[in-house]
Amino acid sequence: MIQDLQYYRALGLRDIQIQAIEEHAQNQEEPARIIEEHKDSYTIISGNGSGRAFLSGKLRFELTAGNLPATGDWVLTGSQEPYIITELLPRFSKFSRKIPGKKTTEQIIAANVDLIFLVMSLDNNFNLRRAERYLSLIQSGGADPVILLNKVDLLSREEAENKLKDILTVTNVPVHLLSAITGEGKDIIASYLKKGITIALTGSSGVGKSSIINALTSDHVQETGETRNDDKGRHTTTSRKIFFLEQGCMLLDTPGMRELQLWDAEEGISEVFSDILELAEHCKYSDCTHDQEPGCAVKKAMEEGNLSQDRYRSYHKLKSEASKQQSMLDENFLIQKRKREKAIHKEIKKMLKERGRR
């Protein structure tokens, strides 16, 4: 039985984790939430306060590189320092990507978050195609996205409203204009800050995530950096960390990402591009590739100006990327399966050989 359940619910504990705790927790084990990641350890918070925690040897051996605990995760630990993490509890949501490079491995950016603020700045960072990519990943992971168009103070009101109209052509999720410098939009953002929920901030480097956190916390808790001349920004946040707000909610800051490769994003792509899927239902052929086939509703929509070619190309690019990644995952699965089977056959052969000697 969990002691002081109300306290843990205020930290974001959900029924899915409570059920797992009741099934798996041993004596002297208690739930804790990871609020920051370090190179070889974590900072956790529990009924005993906060402190450093380390993975047990068994858990480190059992978990794959792509399924290690991440900021926002709930775990089971011992009740005394040094805290040893013995179990990773189920997640109700996650935001993840494929790690940069050639390896086909998942990287968890944030776990157990209710909302994700996708921050875009109204300078050269503003990019509809990038927004579609982020939204595909966010909506695949189970969190609700909200787009914040930051640095509205850089534009005239008309220019800002035009950017708002542009983003609303590719999504129906909530979108808000914001200035972390002047405070415009702060009251609207504050309406999302409800007790017990966790909100992650994500976006490219230099879009102002740390400035937003500082504005919402009314304190200078995050370093901020000047944007470079090319508008790419500098990394001022280097780790994923949860901040606690006086409203009772939690903000999870993440480092800016210059590379965002898809991971298990098929469902999110379908949600982000639902308009194209609805058009495809009216194509003459059920297996229409929207290329040269007659009676293609998607091609017709593009010809009539009801669907931009850029948006369709974005959809096609993300679908192809997701399909290629799935093929690589299937191939890796088969390779690992063959390795396991080979090891089993080798062990059986060894046992039979030893029996023959008796």
- For 177-208, the pLDDT digits (tens) are 999 889 999 999 999 999 999 999 999 988 98
- pLDDT at position 45 is 96
Residue 144 burial by CB count (10 A; 0-12/13-18/19+): exposed, middle or buried?
Answer: middle
pLDDT of residue 53: 96
Q: What percentage of the chain reaches a pLDDT higher than 70?
A: 85
Question: Contact at 8 Å (CB) between 141 and 150?
Answer: no
Residues 6+ apart with CB under 8 A from 150: 119, 120, 121, 122, 178, 179, 180, 207, 208, 211, 212
Q: Measured between alpha carbons, how far apart are the two ends of the chain, in Å? A: 53
Q: Give the domains, in start order, of the chain with CATH numbers.
A: 5-88 (2.40.50.140), 94-253 (3.40.50.300), 266-322 (1.10.40.50)
pLDDT, tens digit (0-9, with 9 covering 90-100), for 260-317? 888 888 999 999 999 999 999 999 998 898 888 899 999 999 999 999 999 999 999 9
The better pLDDT of the pair 227, 40 is held by 40
- Can you read off the two tokens belonging to residue 328? 């690589």
Question: Under DSSP, is residue 88 helix (H, G, I), strand (E, B) or coil?
Answer: strand
CA distance 73 to 50: 14
Residue 245: pLDDT band by 50, 70, 90 thresholds? very high
Is 217 a residue whose pLDDT tops 90?
Answer: no
The model's pLDDT over 29-61, given as tens digits with 9 standing for 90+, comes to: 899 999 999 988 999 999 889 999 999 999 988
Q: What is the CA radius of gyration of the chain?
A: 24
pLDDT band at 323 (very low <50, low <70, confident <90, very high): confident
**Is 230 a residue whose pLDDT tops 80?**
no
Q: Helices 128-141 and 309-357: crossing angle, nearest 10°?
A: 40
Q: Residue 231 — pLDDT band, cuts 50, 70, 90? A: very low
**Of 123, 170, 130, residue with least CA distance to 149:** 123
* pLDDT (0 to 100) of residue 219: 61
Per-residue pLDDT, 218: 64
**pLDDT of 220 strictly over 90:** no
Average pLDDT of the chain is: 86
Q: What is the pLDDT of residue 260?
A: 85
Question: Confidence band (pLDDT; 50, 70, 90) for 138?
Answer: very high
pLDDT for 321 beyond 80: yes
State yes or no: pLDDT of 210 exceeds 60: yes
pLDDT higher for 8 or 237? 8
> Tens of pLDDT along 10-34?
999 999 999 999 888 777 789 999 9
